[in-house]
Amino acid sequence: MARGFCHRHGNERPCSCSMGNIYRYVEPVTLYLLKLKGRAYGYELGNYLREHALTDSEVDRAALYRTLRQLETNGFVTSEWDIGGGGPARRLYALTQAGVDHLAEWLVVLRQMAGAMNRFVDDADKLIVSDTKDLQTAATVENE
Amino acid sequence: MARGFCHRHGNERPCSCSMGNIYRYVEPVTLYLLKLKGRAYGYELGNYLREHALTDSEVDRAALYRTLRQLETNGFVTSEWDIGGGGPARRLYALTQAGVDHLAEWLVVLRQMAGAMNRFVDDADKLIVSDTKDLQTAATVENE
DNA sequence: GATAATATATGCAAATAACATCTACATAGT
DNA sequence: ACTATGTAGATGTTATTTGCATATATTATC
């Protein structure tokens, strides 16, 4: 999906097959930020990325630049050089309609993943908590 | 963390740094299943893994076996050969206390990730929905 | 005795990630 | 003028991870 295609589910539906790892969720956050800001260049996005990241991990600028080029190759964003305003030339990116659609697909997947994670955590928590209770009971018994 | 250590946050706290990709969440689900079932062998776990998976992706048995050996190396599980009951020998795994603690750390991280995902999806949804509204408004105007 | 199912494990190519490095321009300080 | 610093984009290298194929061994079934 990160490359526009999952070879297991094809295009039948958005899936999280190759989404667990590809660029550590840089892609959806980048799409989101572009949607939010209208247009932006990579270096700038790199600064906002951190606060919207889905994990604790630092986002490698190299990964961001590569993701942007990849997104462009796939037709999800367009770019043009911006020479003007002082400093080195910057590449201005903007979302395409396909990009918006792709973001929407990511949202389906991420919502589903978040749901699965929450259910998992709840289930696992119960298991562990019941354990703690046992220990407390044991301790109480021991103290009598 | 999957290997028991994150070289960015060290051991100060559970983090999701290397959790976006390592074995596609096979590790926490494996720990959970072992906690749930008391003891189990790899092939068996492979069958339950699917229904508790956090993503759509099929879990490769090779990855599961490798994860189990890794967990053992890190002291999170122990194993012993089970010759008895018909068929090829199976390796019976069980959680250690360190394994339970490790699962608890995963829960912290996964809860946090799920939260981040939900917030992200909500934010992004608003953006896209407001877009749709604009389109609807435009369409309405157009139809007048 | 051939075949299938169970069970664990390894080998290898390809995909990904982490980290370092490179180019280039501009500005500020000395 | 020279140097350092910050901005901006991009590539190269190496290590890790993944996906898929394959190997090995035991039992059950035909």
Q: What is the pLDDT of residue A53?
A: 84
Query: Across all residues in chain A, what is the average pLDDT?
Result: 80
Q: Residue A98 above 70 pLDDT?
A: yes
A32 contacts on B by Cβ (under 8 Å): 120, 123-124, 127
What angle do helix axes A42-52 and A61-73 make, rounded to 10 degrees? 110
Distances (CA, A) of B86 to A33, A78, B44, B61, B82: 57, 61, 15, 21, 10
Q: What is the pLDDT of residue A140?
A: 56
The string of pLDDT tens digits covering residues B57-94 is 778 899 999 999 999 998 999 999 998 878 899 999 99
For residue A113, being part of any structural domain is answered with: yes
pLDDT in tens, A118-140: 999 999 999 998 666 665 665 55
Q: Determine, yes or no, domain membership for A6.
A: no
Q: What is the largest CA-CA distance in chain B?
A: 80
Mutate to test the interface with B, among A7, A55, A60 (most CBs of B within 10 A): A55
pLDDT range class, residue A19, cuts 50, 70, 90: very low
3-state secondary structure of A82: strand
**Structural domains counted in chain B:** 1
Q: B7 vs B77, which has greater pLDDT?
A: B77
Residue A12 within any structural domain of the chain: no
CATH of the domain at B109: 1.10.10.10
Nearest residue of chain A to residue B110 (CA atoms): A117
Q: How far is CA B27 from the centre of its chain?
A: 6
**Token digits of residue B29:** 């689900």
Q: What is the DSSP string of B63-105?
A: HHHHHHHHHHHTTSEEEEEE--SSSS-EEEEEE-HHHHHHHHH
pTM exceeds 0.85, yes or no: no
Percent of chain A with pLDDT over 70: 73
Contact flag, residue B128 CB and nucleic strand C, below 7 A? no
Average pLDDT over residues B21-41: 86
pLDDT for A95: 96
Quick one: tokens of B108?
């912290």
- Judge whether A96 lies within some domain: yes
Partners of residue A18 in chain B, C-beta under 8 Å: 57
**Residues of chain B above pLDDT 90, percent:** 49
* Position with higher pLDDT, B112 vs A56: B112
One-letter amino acid at B139 equals A
Is residue A27 a part of any domain in this protein? yes
Is residue A4 in some structural domain?
no
All residues of chain B having their beta carbon less than 8 Å from the beta carbon of residue A58 are 8
Residue to test with chain B: of A120, A126, A127, most B Cβ within 10 A: A120
B5 within some domain = no
What pLDDT was estimated at residue B87? 86
- The pLDDT of B19-35, averaged and rounded, is 78
For residue A32, the enclosing domain spans 17-142
Domain annotation covers residue A69 = yes
Average pLDDT of span B108-125? 91
Residue nearest to nucleotide C18 (CA to C1'): A60
